[in-house]
Chains A and B, each alone.
Chain A
Amino acid sequence: MRKRKLGFTALAATSALVLAGCSTVSNDGDGGGGDEAGPFTIGVSNGFVGSEYRTQMIEDIEEAATGYQDEGALNDLVLENADTDVNGQIQQVRNLINAGVDAIIVDPNSGSALDQVFREATDQGILVFAIDQAVTEETVINVGIDQALWAETSALWLADEVGEGGSIVAVNGASGHPANELRWEAAQGVFDDAGIEVLTTADGGWDQATGQQQMANLLATYPDIDGVWTQDGMALGVLQAVIAADREDDIIVSGEARNGFLRLWSEQDDDFESIGVVNPPGTGATALHIAMEMLQGGELDESQLHDGHNIVLELEEAITSDNFDDVWAEVQDQPDTYVLDSILSADDVQRFFQ
């Protein structure tokens, strides 16, 4: 009986509390915004580490930040950089908010599931920039290349090489990952239009070793393919599998703009054909320049924004056999893990401002 009474008391107390009134929890907008004089603090949240792309992305951001730190405009760059899931990244972003940053640059693990926490940040006047992967929250500024265009570029090239009626397989990143879906949708459209049959797709997890293994499996199952479409981070593995099967002369592989792949390319015969489309890890550093400009009072030029919150960076010219020698001469001293890069400078980003 006592227990039941306790229950009723708790229920009554709860109802009383509810009646006492609700209010949304948010701190006042003192987190940042363009009206402060600085020096500023910028936070970075990245939920996936261990890939050469992400490592270079973080290094690029740190390097860009040093310049601002030297001139005293940037106080601190706070890094939240660890392997985690969406839930963990929500905590990363909240940690940054609680640390009092003025702007957050985030490589989001999800295109939509972080929207609420981004809103928590922007409601407090914190600028949020999503790089590498666009998010749907409209108060966040997406900075990046057009992933669909990126995929279309290599798909068009491959379709052209293979020709109508040809059949290919695809080694994709991860099913369900937004960037992967966006890319594959675009590429598939190209292949459908060009009359090319896609026999199957496999997931290589944007990992060279996995990509190589998947390709070896595909070669065993589908011996009669004319080409392979793959994404960055796996093309080296895929090409190695094709070479190991001694099929590099009759199977065309779409490549990647990374040094390991380019080195293998440079070791092939002169008639070897491939393509590498640059997906620059330097986008984060570009976003940092944009963030600093906005914090220092710059106003974005609305006409430069797609759908009101996307800054779309232009693609660099793709690497094909036409320009391979020039590109390779420039980057061959870099390690194999180097990802061909492009960073807009503080002056370059002025074109997005009024």
Chain B
Amino acid sequence: MTATDKAREIEERTAFFDRVKGIRVASWATGLLLAAAAVVAAVLQPNLLTPYGVSSTFATFLPLVLVAVAQSFVVIGGGLDLSAGAIVALSSVVAVQAMRGEEGTALIGFLAAVGTGFACGAVNGLIVSRLRLQPLIATFATASVFSGLALFVLPTPGGTVPAAMTETFRQAIAGVPVSLLLVVAVAIGWLALRKLRVFRYIRASGGNPAAAYASLVPVAGARFASYAICGAVCGLAAVAVLGNSGSGDPFIGGDLALNSIAAVVIGGIALRGGIGSPIGAIAGAITLSLASTILFSVGLPTSWRALATGLVVILALSLSALGAPRRQR
């Protein structure tokens, strides 16, 4: 094989990977999947529509919804954060230690969780944007660091969370469960903030860094911001986790990072960056969680569950192939 052949092969391969990364689920496909999942789940498991069913289901969704939104900022910015789950774990145990189970400390815990998440995200952001390490490897490494720190902060599971935090999570306001309201609040929060300049910079840097740089977008700064915001939102997810569990556990959230990546993909965000919206990530996270409920309801043996979850992600991706908008360059 001559050198030119080799070069061409490499070029082709790069193009192929670029194309794979450019594949995205169309918005209609995301919506369709979400609607289908919701209908099927409700038919198979009518108890989901009882007050407890709605409340508990959305309480279960919330951590993944938040981490998926967090992940979406990084992915839209052209990166990837494998440490999201570890950030949730570390933020939650720091919050537990800060509150020490005393009443009236819920706000301190909240701030501790978000602050820790932000700090972790900032570390990721510095490593990726300033040291320019590959995000996949860098965040894989920081995930271990954060998990280790979590174990250091809270060596054994334990501690209690003020009742204010866990009770609020299980309340209903005028018949609407708080957990449902919180998921809606996440979506509204994004819609209210989306016009901020930093989000436009993140999107521009993710879509085409060179063009963004040429247009005076602070690419490195935007990349740093995407990780820092991701970390802070993971801190929020940690609060949701604590609301669910009522106690600290340094091993919590191990599945969150990869599930959040699956959720953003289902949500129509291209791993190439620059395309998609956190709203899609919310839909993706809910679809993914519902898929697991559906698989449980049809009585599928649990050993097949992981495989089936993978198939759901593939199904979502193949739907995009049927009618993805031709936006690929």
Contacts and interface: CB of A to CB of B under 8 A. Distances in A.
Interface of A: 3, 6-7, 10, 17-18, 20-27, 49, 78-88, 90-91, 94-95, 97-100, 109-117, 120, 124, 136, 175-178, 181
Contact of B63 (A18, A22, A79, A87): A87
Given A10-B188, A88-B255, A116-B246, 13 more contacts: A6-B192, A20-B174, A22-B172, A24-B172, A26-B170, A85-B256, A87-B244, A95-B297, A112-B248, A120-B170, A124-B52, A136-B158, A176-B155
A3 to B, nearest CB: 7
A110 B251 contact: yes
Contacts of A113: 157, 245-249, 252
Closest 4 CB pairs of A and B: A116-B246, A113-B245, A25-B55, A112-B247
26 contacts: A17-B174, A23-B172, A24-B170, A25-B171, A27-B50, A27-B52, A79-B302, A80-B296, A86-B245, A87-B64, A87-B244, A87-B255, A90-B245, A94-B59, A94-B60, A95-B297, A98-B50, A98-B56, A110-B247, A112-B249, A114-B245, A117-B244, A117-B245, A120-B52, A176-B157, A181-B155
Nearest to A94: B56
B143 to A, nearest CB: 14
A79 B299 CA distance: 9
Nearest to B176: A17
Given A21-B173, A114-B245, A87 B253 contact: yes
A277 B96 CA distance: 36
A197 to B, nearest CB: 22
Given A87-B241, A91-B289, A176-B156, A24 B167 contact: yes
Contacts of B299: 78
B305 to A, nearest CB: 5
A176 B255 CA distance: 18
B57 interface: yes
Contact of A82 (B60, B171, B177, B306): B306
A179 B247 CA distance: 17
Contacts of A97: 52, 56
A196 B134 CA distance: 48
B171 A23 contact: yes
A116 B155 contact: no
The binding surface of chain A is classed by DSSP as mixed
Nearest to A109: B251
B244 A116 contact: yes
Contacts of A120: 52, 56, 170
A94 B299 CA distance: 15
Nearest to B171: A22
A49 B303 CA distance: 9
B278 to A, nearest CB: 18
B250 interface: yes
B191 to A, nearest CB: 9
Given A115-B247, A181-B156, A21 B50 contact: no
Contacts of B250: 176
A18 B181 CA distance: 11
B94 to A, nearest CB: 15
Interface in B238-285: 241, 244-256
Nearest to B50: A27
Contacts of B124: none
Contacts of A82: 302-303, 305-306
Nearest to B45: A98
B8 to A, nearest CB: 43
B69 to A, nearest CB: 16
B212 interface: no
Contact of B245 (A79, A99, A116): A116
Interface string B138-177: 0000000000000100011111100000110011111111
A75 to B, nearest CB: 13
Given A3-B192, A99-B297, A110 B302 contact: no
Contacts of A176: 151, 155-157, 250-251
Contacts of B52: 25-27, 97-98, 120, 124
B48 interface: yes
A20 B167 contact: no
A95 B293 contact: yes
Nearest to B158: A112
Contacts of A49: 302-303
A112 B305 CA distance: 26
Contacts of A136: 158, 247
A98 B155 contact: no
A20 B173 CA distance: 7
Contacts of B48: 98
A94 B57 contact: yes
A56 to B, nearest CB: 15
Contacts of B305: 82
Contacts of A83: 306
A98 B52 CA distance: 8
A123 B246 CA distance: 16
A105 to B, nearest CB: 14
A280 to B, nearest CB: 23
Contacts of A111: 157-158
B47 interface: yes
Given A82-B302, A112-B249, A99 B47 contact: yes
A36 B153 CA distance: 46
A178 B293 CA distance: 28
Contacts of B297: 95, 99
A23 B155 CA distance: 36
B325 interface: no
A42 to B, nearest CB: 15
B241 A98 contact: no
B60 A85 contact: no
B323 interface: no
A112 B159 CA distance: 8
Contacts of B170: 24-26, 120
